[in-house]
Each structure stands twice: as C-alpha cells, then as structure tokens.
Structure 1
Amino acid sequence: MDLRQMEYVVALADERHFTRAAELAGISQSGLSSAIRGLEQELGTALFDRTTRRVEPTAAGFALLPHARALLEEAARAREAVMRVGPAISGSLRVGAEQCLGLVDVSALLSTFHQRHPGIATEFAQAGSHELVGAVREGELDVAFVATDRHLGALRHTFLGGEPLVLVVPPDHRLARRTTLRWEMLDGADFVDFSETWGVRTMNDDLLATHGVHRRVRCSVNDVHTLLDLVTRGLGVAIVPAHVARKPQAATLVTCELPGAAQPSWSVSAICPLAPAADAPSGLLLELLGETAPCEDASCFAGEAVETTEVIDAADAEAASAVGGQPVMAVGR
C-alpha cells in the first residue's frame, strides 16, 4: 500500500461517488477505479460496495479508513518538518494597527510570525484606523488591523469581531449615579476622545450628532491609557469600546451603557489590497490569526461586572419614563 492509494481510499469514502472522488484526488475516474481494484486485489477483500448510484465502504473499508487517514496526516507532518529545515521563506512584510484593538493581539501575532518565518523582514507601524486605511490603499502597508468599515472600497477585509461602545465617567461625575442615561444628559458635556484618525472618534462624532448631542472635545489623544487617565482626573467623559472600560487603568471609573436597545457596535477587521497568495508574507500572517488568542491581557475580556447601589430621585424617574429611557447598569471599578 502506498500514500496515493490511501488518498484514494479516503476520497472515495468521504465522497461515496467515483466521479467526485476522482476530481478531489486529481485523477481520472478510470484511474481511481483501477487503483481501488488493485488495492482490493492486494488485500484480498472488497473495500467498497458499488451500486449504480452510490459507493459504500465495506466492513474492511471502514477498518482501513482510520489507518489511511493517520498515514496521510503523518506524511503531512513529515513534509512540514522537512520544510522547517529547508530554505527559509524570505521577503518583507509591512504591518499596521491601531492601538489596543483587544479583539486581536497584534504583538503576539507578530512574535509568532517572526518565529515561524525569521527570513521575512517585518516592519510595524501604529496609527489611527483612517490613516492605516489610506496607507494600505497607497501601497505603503501590506496588512493593517483597523477599527473602521469606512472608505475600504475594494480593499479586501476580514472581520475579526465587534463589541458595543460604552460611556466611562469619573465616580464623582453627575452621570455616575444615574440608573437611566438619556442622550440629552450628554448635551454640553466635556469629552476626552481620540484624534480624528481613529475609527472610534468617527463613530462617536456621528453617534452624538445623530442624537442631537452637542459636546466639547476638551482633549484629543492618540493613546488609550492617556485617555483613561484624563477621564480619571476629571477632564471629561469618554465613549470607548467595551474592552477599554475593563482595563486596569479604568478601575476607578464608572461604566454605563449608552441609551437605546440597539447598542452601537465597534468592529475590528484585517485589511489588505488584494487576496494574498497563500505563500505571500501577508497571506502567511493572516493564516496565523486562528492560532493567536484575541488578547492576553485578561482585563480586556474577563472582567466581572459589579453592580453598584444606584440613587435616582423621583423627578428623574418620571422624566425617564416620559422619554422611554432605557435602564443602564453602572459598573463600579
């Protein structure tokens, strides 16, 4: 028995049809039939029962099948072992990402890529999502991880996940003790937000404008931890992706859901100019996405919500009822 025969056995057992199995194995139907007959003669028993419409493994065929699969898997592992000590893949890869995406651990991804393909020279740039989209479109980056679905045009994008936006406020802020948050409560508030090149800044601008909220962005930043520090120090409130509110730096802040049953969603995607070839550096990087955990910092996703005791006066309760306000959970940090 040889590996090709095992490949034919597996293909025919999976497809239960000679024509489809032959296409899958890359051989003519007559060639497949001849190979199966030859193997049956070698083993002295029928491996498949053949009818005009269907092919079914016999008891002997079912007995052979797991061993055939194991041989093919072992052969694949052997090829991989040889490739690892063979000539290294070379080239270059230019990667960009917005900071603290949470849904993808870019640092871990780049580390794994470097270990797997040390011959590929890797460059990494950190910037806002809108700037990164432009860099990919202009050919300055091969792959970027962004938090926006705007202006992607014909760029190929792979959706990696999403989560809601939430409001974070200092514990002594007027909104920190509200059980119900309404859009008009944010009108005129001071905000800390990201610079205009960040995807979440565009979302916030559009979201608040849609609900008629006028705000003053008192501080624009390009760093998640700086934003949280400024909110903690009372310079304003902020609307951020939910995982940012679970960071240790937000431990003293109060997190509130935004008004409305349908929460605005913040999403992360990997983008590149074209569908990369499997052996291209960008293709090799994207293949690793399934092997890399979203975020090694447990605070990004594992935080437990601790409900606090809320106080709201009768006037607030009546007003909330009048405008159909939605309940909100404030989380003490």
Structure 2
Amino acid sequence: MELRNLRHFVALAEEQSFTNAASRELIVQSGLSSSVRALEKDVGARLFVRGSRPVRLTAAGEALLVQARHTLDAAAAAQQAVQDVQGVLAGRLRVGALNSVGHTLPFTTWLAEFALAHPGVHITVVQEGAQQMLDMVDNGELDCALVPATSDTRLVVLPLVVEPLVLACAPDHPLATNTAIRLSQLDGERFVEPPSGWAIRATLDDAFRANGLTRQIACEVYGWEPVLDLVRAGVGISLLPGGLDFSRPSWRELRLIPLSDVRLDRRIDFVYPKGAAASPATRRFVELLEHNRAMAVEQDAALDVPLDGSGQG
C-alpha cells in the first residue's frame, strides 16, 4: 500500500470530485483514477460508489478514511523528525477559522508570521460552522481550529477571547431608543441570524428556551456582513458579537444596545488534538499563539503602570 495512493484516496474523499481532487494533488484525473484503483486492489474492496455525483464513499471507504488520515499524519511526523534534526519545519497546516475571526483577533497576522518563519509548510484555511470544524479536528480532517469549544470536547483548548453579545437594530426600530435591554423585551421579535451549526445560534437557542421566550428567524445568512446589512435595512434585529468591525458607513447608523439582565458571550478558542496526535506544524503554531498572547498580556500590564510610578493614576 503506497502513501501516494492513500493521499489520493483522502483527497478524493474530501473533495468529492475527481476534478477537484486531481487539481489538489497536481495530477491528471486519469492518474488519480489509477491510483484509487491500485489502492482498491491492495485493500481488496471498492472504496467509492461508482457513478455517484458527488463522489461517495462505500462502507469500506468510510472505514479506511480515518485510518488513512492517521497513516498520512504518522508519515508526516516521521518526515518531520528528520527535518527537525536539520532545523526545518515542513508538511502542512490545515486551520479551521470562524468567518468573523479576523474582526476580533489578528488571525492573518499570525498566519503571515508563521508562513514567513516556516516557508516549507503548506497552509490551508477552512471556514465552516463551528461544530463542523470541531468535528473535523476531532476526526483528523483539520489540524486545529479557532472556534468556540464545547464542554465535552476531547481536544486541547487554548482560550483566546470572550466577548459579550449586543443587540443590533436599525435606527428607526422601536427598540432603538433603549440604552440597555432585557432579553424578555426581544420575545417574538424578528431576527436576522447566521445558519444553524454556528455556535452563536446554539447560544441564542439555549438562552431563549431557558427563559421561555421565542424569536422569529426572518432571514438566515452566512456571514456577519450580510447580517448587518439586513439589520440596517430593517429586516430584523440581531444579537451579535460586540467586537465586530462596525466601521462601514452604513453600519455606523446601527444602534448597538447591551443586554442588562443576562450575559451572553461569543468565545473563540484554539483547539487541537492531544499529545502525539497534534502535528509538528500545529505544535509550532501553538507556540506562536502562546508567545503572542504572553506579549499582549505584558503590553496590557505595561499600560496599567502609572507614568509617575506613584501607584496613583
């Protein structure tokens, strides 16, 4: 069983398209097909349902996929062990990130710093729903992710930021004159929200259910930019992270109102596998995050030191 064939198999399983998988692996489609057939001969079973669109795994293919990923990760770790002797980091880093993570954290700055320090690492960024990305890290499809961690996760969790949710509404909305608002005042209101699978949806569902309240989902869109545009247009209101960038001229008119009776937060954590399951690139990226986080704490502490050294501001 060749590693090349396993890699082609995983690419096809993930892309669900011969065209996309061949492009990802930089080979022609006929070469990809031959590689998959060779692997099927090695394992003695059909791995894909013939003629299906998108491409679907058979039961045997599903069983092989997890082990194939582990095998490829182990091979990459073995290669990295050799590279470590030479002081070179190689391989790949597959990072999951919330669509809006750049509003709150310097994610692209971190990526740039890592990429420039380790040019031998191929970096891929994936943006899906929070729960889906947690599952992808857990099953080896991603190396790590910046998402809100769940309490039952088996992954290592590095907390990065916690920010409160605030109500956003158009300036002519009946609630716009409030300086603070109770959750009960939102009962039955029309909302614009991200789709199910986003962690914030689960947070809101739990909060409304716990307080015996309801809300109407008037519009469901992917991404905070269209949410804000629709709220500004008066389609509905929204509870969203207060750390979003509201600098666009049309968004400056929005009313942002804090909740007075409950604290609802959006968390962003860095999650990755435990122990040896974490790839060398992931462990190095964790080191970068921890270093930057420590530097930020030191800078915040320095800003709190009185200029006259008297201890009195």
So what's the TM-score if we normalise by structure 1? 0.58
Preserved CA contact (<8 Å) 2:162 2:267: yes
Shift of 1:220: 1.3
Counterparts of 1:297-308 in structure 2 under 5 Å? none
Q: Please tell me whether the aligned partners of residues 149 and 157 of structure 2 are also in contact (alpha carbons under 8 angstroms).
A: no
Report the counterpart of residue 106 of structure 2 in structure 1. 105
Q: Deviations over 1:212-267 (max 9, x none)?
A: 2211111112211111111011110000111126443631100111131x522221
In 1: Cα distance, 2:245 partner to 2:105 partner: 17
**d(CA) in 2 for partners of 1:148, 1:171:** 34
Q: Percent identity?
A: 30
CA distance in 1, matches of 2:146, 2:255: 29
Partner SS for 2:197: coil
Cα drift, residue 203 of structure 1 = 0.6
Q: Which runs of 5+ in 2 are unaligned?
A: 1-82, 294-313
Query: Match of 2:243, SS?
Result: helix
> Structure 2 counterpart of 1:289, which letter?
L
Q: Which residue of 1 aligns with 2:16?
A: none
Q: Tell me, what secondary structure is at the counterpart of 2:244? A: helix
Shift of residue 270 of structure 1? Answer: 0.4
Q: What is residue 253 of structure 1 aligned with on the other side?
A: 254
CA 1:161–1:197 in 2, change beyond 3 Å: closer, same or farther?
Answer: same
Counterpart of 1:171? Answer: 171
**Cross-structure match for 1:265:** 265
The residue aligned with 1:45 is: none
- Give the TM-score normalised by structure 2: 0.61
Instruction: Report deviation, 1:150.
Output: 4.7
Provide the secondary structure at the position in 1 that maps to 2:274: coil
Number of residue pairs aligned between Structure 1 and Structure 2:
209
- How many Å apart are 1:268 and its aligned residue? 1.0
- Cα distance in 2 for residues equivalent to 1:276 and 1:112: 24
What residue in structure 2 maps to residue 211 of structure 1?
A: 211
Q: What pairs up with 1:120-269 in 2 under 5 angstroms?
A: 120-152=121-153, 154-244=154-244, 246-248=246-248, 250-260=251-261, 262-269=262-269
Q: Which amino acid is the alignment partner of residue 114 of structure 1?
A: A
Q: Distance in 1 between matches of 2:229 and 2:166?
A: 17
What value does the CA root-mean-square deviation take over the aligned residues? Answer: 2.6
Deviations 1:86-138 (A, max 9, x none): 66321111111111224432222111111000001111111121110010111
Q: Which runs of 5+ in 1 are unaligned?
A: 1-82, 294-333
Pairing 1:23-38 to 2, within 5 Å after superposition = none
CA contact (8 A) 2:143 2:278 kept: no
Counterpart of 1:162, as a letter, is V
Q: For 1:33-78, what per-residue CA distance to the aligned partner results, in whole angstroms no more than 9, with x for missing partners?
A: xxxxxxxxxxxxxxxxxxxxxxxxxxxxxxxxxxxxxxxxxxxxxx
- Would the alpha carbon gap of residues 151 and 132 (structure 1) be closer, same or farther in structure 2, given more than 3 Å must change? farther
